[in-house]
Amino acid sequence: MHRFNLRAAASGIALIMMTATSAIADIKDYEFQLVDKDVKQGEAVISVKLLHKPTGRAVPDAVIFAKRIDMGPDGMAMMEAPLDPVASSAPGVYSFKTDLTMAGNWELSLGAKVQGEAGTVENKLVVKATK
């Protein structure tokens, strides 16, 4: 009888340790990465993957609340383009339809909340629009 209780206690401690470890995750452990760094000028779909860096796993179900695309990298931050969410191709992939009116470098700025994490994932990624 004592062995059973000792095993149950050990299992409980292991569960608490695993829960505590996952609760200590840092929002800096997450980042967006471009699926493709180059797109065609004009109407385009830009896709990004949200990754948990320590595991390399894609993170589904994030809430993206801030999004912008502009030509800031080419010194024209005032040149913005529309950015509308579209259905994603896979879990952890987030896609946006846009109209990149000029060839050049466009900066995609994203802000998102990851379920179960405090803080905000914020990234700025550069996409190159080509003719």
d(CA 120, CA 28): 9
Over residues 60-103, the pLDDT tens digits come to 999 999 999 999 999 999 999 999 999 987 999 999 999 999 99
- Is residue 58 situated within a structural domain? yes
CATH number, domain of 35, equals: 2.60.40.10
pTM for the model: 0.79
Range of the domain at 33: 26-130
pLDDT of residue 5: 53
Structure tokens at 92: 């952890």
- Is residue 14 situated within a structural domain? no
Domains held by the chain: number: 1
Q: Is the pLDDT of residue 33 over 60?
A: yes
- Is residue 19 situated within a structural domain? no
Q: Contact, 49 vs 32, CB < 8 A?
A: yes
